[in-house]
Structure 1
Amino acid sequence: MIIQTSNLLIEPICEKSLSYILKNIDHELNMPIPKHASKYQIKKFISHNDKIRCFNSLGYFIIKLNNGLIPIGFLSIIPRYINENLVNELGYFMIKHYRNNGFMCEAIFNTLNYIFNNTNINKIYSLVEDSNTISRHILENNMMFDFIGSLIDRNTLKRVYYINKLNFITYKKSIYHIYRIK
């Protein structure tokens, strides 16, 4: 999957982009790689991502600005068990000084558009820490995900959201002009 929008390029994560993101974050990520990962850990993560992409999901993707192709964040659609059900989970992160520009909404919208038009995936879930009000706002207000409940995940209270293909198509018609693909 490679998506180009008016502002962004979304492509499979690579060693160089992942290294850049890890050097420019201010805290640990909620993904299976430490902030100060070695080259070996990065290579292993990329190899694992390639295996995930072979499964019924898409894996980890880097978000770059079209202007200069600077990595500014990532998003993922990965398989995950929620209450013993295997689902595809959306995860995302943006470097702090690129937040509040609409880039994450643009990336999520265009990724969901790609997924629902080009794969057999019909529903996407996202788990958000209860205290993460920014991510909750993105999912609830900007992306129109439905809240379905809370659960304890790794000793943290998380809110569970989902969007299905039909709801996305309805939502897409009302805001397509904002996040359109290039």
Structure 2
Amino acid sequence: MLADQGLPSTSIGNNMLVTRAAYHDSGGYENMVFSTSEDLQLFRHVTARGWGFRNLCSPGVLGVSEPQPTLQSLLQQRKRWMKGTAALPWYLTGLFGMYAGFYTVLFWPGLLPLGTVALLYGGKILLQTLFLTSTLRQVGRRENLAVLLLYEFYLCAMSLAVLAYTIWPGYVQWKQRRYTWAEA
């Protein structure tokens, strides 16, 4: 959606394609400062050099990633990704801030009447489910409605777990190596 509005936004690196010409023109990984979120950094370098971008959503380009084998490895992956968010453009930072603000306002005790909370939360789940259904159809996939509705609870639980794991002191692990937060 953001890319359709001309705002650069990227996906996970294993689902990202960069042409050879754009890669070489940007200097490639060889000329970038080390980062454990190198795919995001490459995308920024490529778009900064004026190369176009598109987010494709069709069965012919669908890339399905293998899930992380354990909860700990999933949290380690997300902590590494969180390191990359420090350099996101204003509109993505703003979207993440609105996401956090929505839940803060919605569930702040006594701030809103329970009927309003239920209406807003139900509306969010409805819109989110419609968006997921539409996107899945664009790539030739379908999902059980119960799974789509449960996604909200997964999203909330994972968001809190990732936030806690990210601020918890510890290393960032990537490609069987460990880095401090500053090194990553």
Please, what TM-score do these two structures have when normalized by structure 1? 0.30
User: Which of 1 and 2 has higher RCO (CA within 8 Å, sep 6+)?
Assistant: 2
Task: Decide which structure has greater helix share.
Answer: 2
TM-score, scaled to structure 2: 0.30
Higher strand share: 1
